[in-house]
Amino acid sequence: MAQLATTELLLLLAVVTTVWAARHRTELLNVCMDAKHHKEKPSPEDELHEQCSPWKKNSCCFANTSREAHKDISYLYRFNWDHCGQMAPACKQHFIQDTCLYECSPNLGPWIQQVNQSWRKERILNVPLCKEDCQQWWEDCRTSYTCKSNWHKGWNWSSGYNQCPAGADCHPFHFYFPTPAALCSEIWTHSYKLSNYSRGSGRCIQMWFDPAQGNPNEEVARFYALAMSAGALPHGIEPLLLSLVPMLQLWLLS
């Protein structure tokens, strides 16, 4: 038994060393995107505004960015939420929260990808949003209207803010987004995807959380950083590493 325990410990240490080195090279944890309004590194921001306030202990956004995130056609991106008439307040809250997550979260590192765009050098891709967040977003926007399923491109910007392009008709959200999965994955060109996991599982990113209980997305980022690092290891070692993730997390926190 002692020999077995020693072997397991040595294997664990070898895996941890490999994972740490990979994480160090790729900077997956506690990082900010290289994008239009992000800080270079996360830090406390005591004055974050309203829905962005859960990130005030460690944030990639400045206080002014958080205030602008709550405005219509703000200087951030000149985006008009009411391009097909007034958006329902409950629906708009989700887009504000989406903006806060994108601008402020330091826990999106495992999903950051390089891009060649004039306004940013990095983006997020396929962030697994907790299924309740996607479902509630979709439910609260069912009575609002839009004219496009991809909000990243294809708008008419001739007035200085986005308007529906010629030939794009306004319909209820569910016309362009028939399911919660469609909404989360398509609206920002696959920045998000609907996860099969629930809030509190440690396996999906929460748009909404109570900061008094801590930031649950820190654990999620650690899990996926370790899992992604496992992908670079020899074939057959990935299942072992994933089985050791809880132990590795405890080790990293000690």
Q: Does pLDDT of 22 surpass 80?
A: no
pLDDT for 253 equals: 57
What does pLDDT average to over the chain?
82
Highest mean predicted confidence (pLDDT) among 33-42, 74-83, 189-198: 189-198
Strand blocks (E) in the chain: 112-117, 120-124, 127-129, 145-146, 171-172, 192-194
pLDDT single digits (tens) 152-203: 899 999 988 999 999 899 999 999 999 999 999 999 999 999 999 999 999 9
H helix runs in 36-129, sequence order: 63-68, 89-104
* 15: its two tokens: 């895996």
Read off the pLDDT of each residue in 112-141 and give the average, rounded to a whole number: 90
- Alpha carbons 181 and 171: distance in angstroms, whole number: 18
Q: pTM for the full model?
A: 0.78
**High-pLDDT (> 70) share of the chain, %:** 78
pLDDT for 73 equals: 80
pLDDT single digits (tens) 85-98: 999 999 999 999 99
